[in-house]
Amino acid sequence: MNPQYNYLYTQQQLSSSYSYTPLVPPTSINDFYDVVRIGSGSFAQVYRGYELINQRPIMYREVALKKINVCYS
């Protein structure tokens, strides 16, 4: 897998050339790929995906800061 371009590389057995197949769907957020929303709440949405570099599974939470009231004293 080439995470930089979100493509899977396959080598043909009789040839030294490479072909690529795009991941379906090629969704990515920041440094993560294959991102799927798994939940949401009042202030955040939670996504599941994989790191581009290490290929580890991750959970990604996106917080809506505009909905949070912050009081400064």
67 is in an annotated binding site: no
Torsions phi, psi for 67 (to 5 deg): -85, -10
Task: Name residue 72's amino acid.
Answer: Y
Residue 29 β-bridge partners: 32
- The count of other CB atoms within 10 Å of the CB of residue 28 is 16
Pairing label, strands 28-29, 18-22:
unpaired
Binding residues: 66
Binding residues for ATP: 66
